[in-house]
Amino acid sequence: MIPTWAQIGYLVSAVCFIVALKALSSPRSARTGNLIGAAGAVLAVLITFAAYKPDHLAPILIALIIGTIGGVVGSRRVQMTQMPQLVALFNGVGGGAAALVALLELDEVSSDATVAAIASAFTILVGAVSFSGSVVTFTKLQELMTTRPVTFPGLPVLFVASILGGLALGVWLVSDPRVWVGVLLCLVGLAIGVMLVLPVGGADVPIVISLLNAFTGLTVAAGGYVLGNTLLLIAGTLVGAAGTLLTKLMADAMGRSVFNILFGAIRGGSTLGAGVASERPVISGGPEDVAILLGYANKVIIVPGYGLAVAQAQHVLRDLVEELQSRGVKVDYAIHPVAGRMPGHMNVLLAEAQVPYDQLREMDDINGDFKTTDVVLVVGANDVVNPAARNTPSAPIYGMPILNADEAQRVIFLKRSMRPGFAGIENELLYDPRTTLLFGDARDSLTKLLGALKTV
């Protein structure tokens, strides 16, 4: 029986999680939200130690120390461009931990406790799926394996057979809660997780991370029921709901269904990526040419993308914007929902460079302004301004809402090469007579551009 004071403490922790989740919805309050959520987690751990007085205290403390060191070192060393991989890894660890806890608790589940047995089976199966799937997403984003969809003959049949096998083992576990049946169920879940993520292309992997995050939340909630821990039930439900909503929002931002994202490659319609560089002629210019276009503009919109993050060019971009503003040029940043590799990626990157929040405008808010914009500066982005999303039904990004950069008077692209974006298709806007390309690393190009602008 949990003491009353511990239940009150858990309630405080749950409130911290709810407040943190709300605070994370805005860049202004996200840092505070993280601290509040972390404080709630620390409080919950301390209460658990004090209320339960666990056996085997030494190995538990050793595991906590190792985990804490790993988390701190990993979080501090990771680059902003690698944040989605870190999220995937942490998420997978959470799902795996929930599955292991459910396995260990099987000895305590009696055959007549049907609901607890169902919750255990669900936690083991879905937690294993989340763990193995998250590991595959990590290896894809870290480029330890190809980012292209991986399929093989018989994959759909094997995948469906594994799901049916998992359901059968789950029913068996509910009727006869034995550890070895739980281990088999866990192994099947691991296989399902791998087969779920392998066919997903690189551009779609962040959406799968969000989906697996929802899976982990649901397993934690089910594990909370098995353990009789209300806090785990609340926290898991919050994560599951938030992950589900985020998955839906990201899929909508890509203009595709979650089913198409997961299984499109099997039907030949997924985002493939890794396209071949085009040899079609384009209009290119040097820093001085682009500086003239920017320096004499009245209104400029910046479209940042993943290339900005890779080059770590956000600080130079801020300096360029400040130089333009000192000349009386109105400048805004247009943020696409899936710019970078996850929602909020660009917001965090630019906030790191001390870019004012009021300059960061979301797609729906700024899309009507492109018609009255003199110059759009696209830095490391491609698919989010590709008109094929509106005009080419056969394109893998068709139907994806995009930023209306093609409606501006002039467009400037900062690109390393003519290789396509993740979608693996050409962007016709690059060949538009109103478009000028400045080739090179984004940070190097922006540094030269800033120097040239100061002489205009």
Q: Which residues are catalytic?
A: 383
The widest CA-to-CA distance across the chain, in whole angstroms, is 81
Backbone angles phi, psi at 98, to 5 degrees: -60, -40
The alpha carbons of the chain give a radius of gyration, in whole angstroms, of: 25
CB 304 within 8 A of CB 379: yes
CB 207 within 8 A of CB 254: yes
DSSP string, 125-183: HHHHHHHHHHHHHHHHHTTSS-SS----TTHHHHHHHHHHHHHHHHHHHHHS--HHHHH
Residue matched to tokens 């281990």: 183
| Calpha distance 255→386 (Å, rounded) | 13
CB 349 within 8 A of CB 306: no
| Calpha distance 345→382 (Å, rounded) | 16
